[in-house]
Amino acid sequence: MNSNFATSYIEISKEALQHNLKFIHRFVRKSVQISSVVKGNAYGHGIEQYIPLAQECGFDHFSVFCADEAYRVHQASKGESTIMIMGHVENNQLEWAIENNVQAYVFEMDRLEQALRYAKRTKKKAKVHIEVETGMNRTGFTLKDLDKALAFLQEHQEWIEFQGLCTHFAGAESVTNYYRIQQQQKQFDKALTKVALYPVEPKQTHMACSAAAMRYPKTQKDLVRLGIIQYGFFPTNEVLIEYLTRKKVAKDPLRRLISWKSSVMDVKHVKKGEFVGYGTSYLAGEDRTIATIPVGYSHGFSRSLSNQGRVLIRGQRVQVIGTVNMNMMTVDVTQIPSIEKGDEVVLIGKQGDLEITISSFSEYSDLLNYELLTRLPRDIPRYIVE
């Protein structure tokens, strides 16, 4: 792969991250550690580019889903940082994790036993976070099974470090789940009561994601796992509107880090009555000028944006016409007589006074911000800009 040959690129703004961090520090208590969640290729921002940037801005704790991501964070890391795997890790990967001081969630006995085995083999302590099932019903020890895990931790203290006790909320970003979130906190308290009966003690407890940390400050515990908010997005519009209402402010306080850009590949004129692109989905009602852009659904620009999406060229908003192809799309640039091959095209982000937001995207394409971001392919080059 030669990133100079790519047809589009992504810029990540350092200033925006610094801005968002200031915002985060306004609502996260001083004593609480912040883990930067970088699963899903750092929510599409690119682990390799994002980690050194985040470290420079002050993050020193990163959470990922699996060992593959942990490995990439480890490789990209430029300083001392803690890495925590919140999801999947195979036995052979556990050995690598322990050797490299990478912490991991444990939610069933087999993994705990394997952690012991590999800790002994590598002669290093395994640092585990015991995940508790509190109502999401995905992964985690039930309160009943927790006894077994705690007894095991007690017996093998020499090899297994009880780094954390944790859980995850089943939708803190929607008020619909209010009751369930309260119940989950109660269950977690019960788990804590149980843990107190054993001589082993977790170094940290944690449960909050971005939405929980903002909406339910009590859930901040010793550590918060913040994903979407560091990248400049509220988890949902509901959380944004609640914030604006509560603070009596009008403007979204966060800044997006990401911009996605390409350039005009070709310009042509189409006569009234002609179809553009595959099939008949776009008929030129008038004479039109059309620009081709070398970005399509294989690059993450959803096909559902056919005849709907918008991009910015020469400071103007122009519309996608016809179907989005695998590698290309066409836009109507009749309103820009000066258009030229090579002109910058903004697919996401700002140009002049205008902005294409990811959430506008999600409205046409029915995708969440989370999904849209993480669908940005890994091979689009990413660059940090000040």
Ligand X SMILES: *Cc1c(COP(=O)(O)O)cnc(C)c1O
Interface residues with ligand X (CB under 6 A)? 37, 39, 86, 168, 209-211, 225-229, 235
Work out how close the CB of 37 gets to ligand X at its nearest, in angstroms, rounded to a whole number.
Answer: 4
Q: Shortest Cβ distance from residue 379 to ligand X (Å)?
A: 23
Residue nearer to ligand X on the CB measure, 38 or 76:
38
**In the complex, minimum distance from the CB of residue 242 to ligand X, in angstroms, rounded to a whole number:** 15
39 or 215: CB nearest ligand X: 39
Distant-in-sequence, close-in-space partners of 312: CB < 8 Å, separation ≥ 6:
318, 345, 346, 350, 351, 352, 354, 355, 356
**What are the φ/ψ torsions at residue 342 (nearest 5 degrees)?**
95, -10
C-alpha 290/C-alpha 11 separation (Å) is 26
Query: Which residues does residue 331 pair with via DSSP β-bridges, in sequence order?
Result: 291, 320
Residue 344, amino acid: E
Ranges of beta strands (E only) in the chain are 8-13, 33-37, 61-66, 82-88, 103-106, 126-131, 160-166, 204-208, 223-226, 258-263, 266-270, 288-293, 310-313, 316-321, 329-332, 344-351, 354-356, 382-385
Shortest CB 192 distance to ligand X, Å: 18
Q: How far is the CB of 54 from ligand X (least distance, A)?
A: 14
Nearest residue (CB) to ligand X, 86 versus 149: 86
**Kind and range of the H or E run holding 95:** helix 91-99
What residue is closest to ligand X based on CB?
A: 227
Q: Smallest distance, Å, CB 360 to ligand X?
A: 20
Structure letter (DSSP) for residue 231: G
Q: Measured from the CB of residue 43, what is the shortest distance to ligand X in angstroms? A: 7
Whose Cβ is closer to ligand X: residue 46's or residue 235's? 235
Rounded alpha-carbon distances, angstroms, from residue 161 to 90, 190, 254: 19, 22, 37
Residue placing its CB nearer to ligand X in the complex, 71 or 105? 105
- Which residue, 41 or 306, is less far from ligand X as judged by CB? 41
- Tell me the residue length of the chain: 386
Torsion of CA 258, 247, 207, 189, to 10 degrees: 180
Positions of E strands within 274-343 = 288-293, 310-313, 316-321, 329-332
In this structure, how many other beta carbons lie within 10 angstroms of the beta carbon of residue 330? 24
41 sits in which H/E element: helix 39-43
Contact status, residue 13 vs residue 50, Cβ threshold 8 Å:
no
The smaller minimum CB distance to ligand X, of residues 168 and 288, is found at 168
d(CA 190, CA 169): 16
- Least Å from the CB of residue 348 to ligand X: 18
Which alpha helices (H) appear in 123-236, and where do they start and end? 143-155, 178-195, 210-215
Minimum CB separation of residue 19 from ligand X in Å reads 17
Burial of 317: CB neighbours in 10 Å, binned 0-12, 13-18, 19+: middle
Nearest approach in angstroms of CB 233 to ligand X is 8
When the beta carbons of 132 and 336 are compared against ligand X, the nearer one is: 132
Residue whose CB is less far from ligand X, 48 or 371: 371
